[in-house]
């Protein structure tokens, strides 16, 4: 053996040992997680993209508005545009490899509203997501997400997700390194498992570069929602499925997969991956535990899905042809080159759990209507379930003191009973009464405080509304389609 051969062989051995050591370090680092001390954001020892790289399936797109996805990433996470003067501001991290600098957004957007204009790609490939153009299913450009509509915390540090209301969408049709044809790839997204609908299609992943439906197998994206037109799983939904174009697949073929359960974790890890005649769905609670495999097997046997014809665009919140009737909330997600192993994905899940996603802390006080100046009030401090809430002159009573809980409820203590603000009967239509009811954890008792001052019901997306835009004492409140009126705007505190 020549000296050069010995040198080459020695380098190969060292490289294999280095890769093995890196993979072990990733697993240990991911399981150990990151910590925050003395209010200072600490960089993670490893991020999810470091885990994927160690597993031989590097990230080729990495999007997050909440944190760095590489331990050494120190660039911008996203960009916001201020409505008052159209000024732009990049929002970065508090420290290298750390959490989003939410305070920078709050200061920049104070006294006005902001939208998210760019979600930067941290992989270095410039696969940034921007406002989606029109497509075959719907004209565009699509709406941009309210920058403050999805508050969250990570290990106690405030951040904001991407709140996708119907009509909102992001896209990149000119990417680098994203799988095309039948090339293997993986992807994950962290989503709000309580924010969804049956519209088409809340997706994140690989789509057509023309914004048009170009046929079966031209997409491979994570879908989340409860539509049943194509595939579906057990229970009422929502389900994690794959949008492969002209079909949402829960398993081997179009239709029912008994192994794809309803999943509605407040923070949800959703994964889809695909390779030649092989694909899988995995998911789990992003705050604890591991991943479950809902499907792993061959491609659907319908024409066009084996081999696949992926085109390599990236979408968020919409379908491949710009179908934009869905809703959801996105916090972070990546796409990889290559088909990740389950061991790698399990280590990524451990990193996600260690990131410490949690709801924003509870706050309390009067809920005051912007249009009327009056307070959300329980009539006569009644503890009777089903009492319709109203507005009334603010006077500081217990029946006007509301607590916004970490789970998104609005609670009030009246006559010794703690009750929740509730969309009566779980209804979602315009005119649904908003009442007080014993707290039961239902989605119809969850409310979102949005940056524009509206308070929306989670299942309906409709606004807490003072009936008829009246300002008189004892005017009832209800659900109504959001239209921007002052009778739909509130402050808490």
352, 344 Cβ separation under 8 angstroms: no
Count of residues for the chain? 493
Give catalytic status of residue 311 as yes or no.
no
Q: E strand or H helix at 402, and its extent?
A: strand 402-404
Within its chain, how far is the Cα of 90 from the centroid?
20
Tell me the three-class secondary structure of 292-330, residue by residue: EEEEEECCCCCCCCCCCCECCEEEECCCCCCCCCCCEEE
Helix (H, G, I), strand (E, B) or coil at 185: strand
The first and second tokens of residue 391, run together, are 């507005």
The DSSP secondary-structure symbol of 173 reads: S
The DSSP secondary-structure symbol of 486 reads: G
* CB within 8 Å of 472: residues ≥ 6 apart: none
Catalytic site residue from 185, 208, 213, 245: 245
424, 432 Cβ separation under 8 angstroms: yes
Count of Cβ atoms closer than 10 Å to residue 25 Cβ: 14
Count of Cβ atoms closer than 10 Å to residue 90 Cβ: 16
Report how far apart, in Å, the C-alpha atoms of 76 and of each of 94, 122, 202, 298 are.
10, 8, 25, 39
State how beta strands 402-404 and 410-414 pair.
Answer: antiparallel
345, 282 Cβ separation under 8 angstroms: yes
The whole-angstrom separation of Cα 262 and Cα 128 is 31
The whole-angstrom separation of Cα 252 and Cα 259 is 11
Is the sign of the CA dihedral 435, 437, 439, 444 positive or negative? negative
Catalytic site residue from 50, 321, 377, 422: 321
Give catalytic status of residue 345 as yes or no.
no
| Active-site residue set | 245, 321
């Amino acid at each position: 053996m020549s000296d050069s051969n010995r040198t080459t062989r020695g380098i190969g051995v060292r490289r294999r040992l280095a890769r093995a050591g890196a993979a072990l370090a990733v697993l240990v680092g991911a399981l150990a997680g990151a910590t925050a001390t003395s209010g200072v954001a600490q960089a993670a020892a490893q991020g999810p993209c470091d885990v994927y790289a160690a597993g031989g399936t590097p990230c080729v797109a990495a999007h997050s508005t909440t944190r760095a996805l590489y331990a050494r990433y120190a660039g911008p996470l996203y960009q916001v545009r201020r409505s008052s003067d159209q000024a732009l501001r990049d929002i970065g991290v508090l420290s290298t490899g750390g959490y989003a600098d939410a305070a920078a957004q709050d200061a920049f957007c104070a006294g006005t509203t902001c939208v998210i204009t760019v979600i930067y790609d941290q992989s270095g490939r410039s696969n940034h997501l921007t406002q989606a153009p029109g497509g075959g299913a719907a004209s565009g450009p699509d709406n941009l997400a309210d920058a403050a509509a999805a508050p969250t915390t990570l290990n106690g540090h405030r951040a904001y997700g991407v709140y996708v209301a119907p009509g909102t969408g992001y896209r990149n049709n000119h990417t680098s390194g994203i799988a095309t044809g039948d090339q293997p790839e993986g992807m994950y997204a962290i989503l709000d498992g309580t924010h969804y609908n049956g519209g088409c299609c809340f997706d994140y992943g690989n789509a057509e570069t023309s914004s048009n439906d170009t046929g079966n197998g031209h997409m491979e994206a994570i879908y989340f929602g409860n539509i049943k037109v194509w595939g579906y799983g057990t229970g009422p939904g929502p389900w994690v499925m794959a949008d492969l174009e002209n079909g949402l697949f829960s398993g081997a073929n179009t239709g029912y997969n008994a192994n794809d359960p309803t999943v509605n974790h407040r923070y949800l890890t959703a994964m889809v991956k695909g390779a030649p005649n092989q694909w899988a769905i995995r998911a789990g609670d992003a705050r604890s535990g591991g991943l479950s495999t809902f499907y792993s097997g061959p491609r659907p046997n319908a024409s066009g899905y084996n081999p696949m014809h992926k085109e390599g665009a990236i979408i968020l919140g919409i379908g491949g042809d710009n179908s934009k009737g869905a809703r959801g909330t996105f916090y972070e997600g990546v796409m990889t080159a290559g088909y990740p192993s389950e061991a790698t994905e399990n280590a990524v899940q451990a990193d996600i759990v260690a990131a410490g996603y949690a709801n924003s802390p509870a706050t309390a006080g009067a809920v005051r209507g912007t249009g009327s100046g009056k307070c959300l009030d329980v009539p006569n401090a009644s503890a009777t379930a089903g009492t319709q809430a109203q507005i009334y002159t603010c006077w500081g009573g217990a029946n006007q003191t509301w607590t916004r809980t970490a789970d998104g409820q609005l609670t009030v203590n009246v006559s010794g009973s703690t009750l929740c603000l509730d969309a009566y009967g779980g209804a979602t239509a315009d005119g649904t009464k908003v009442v007080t009811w014993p707290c039961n954890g239902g989605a119809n008792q969850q409310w979102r405080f949005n940056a524009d001052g509206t308070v929306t019901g989670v299942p309906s997306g409709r606004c807490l509304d003072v009936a008829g835009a009246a300002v008189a004492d004892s005017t009832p409140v209800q659900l109504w389609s959001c239209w921007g009126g002052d009778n739909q705007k509130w402050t808490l505190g």
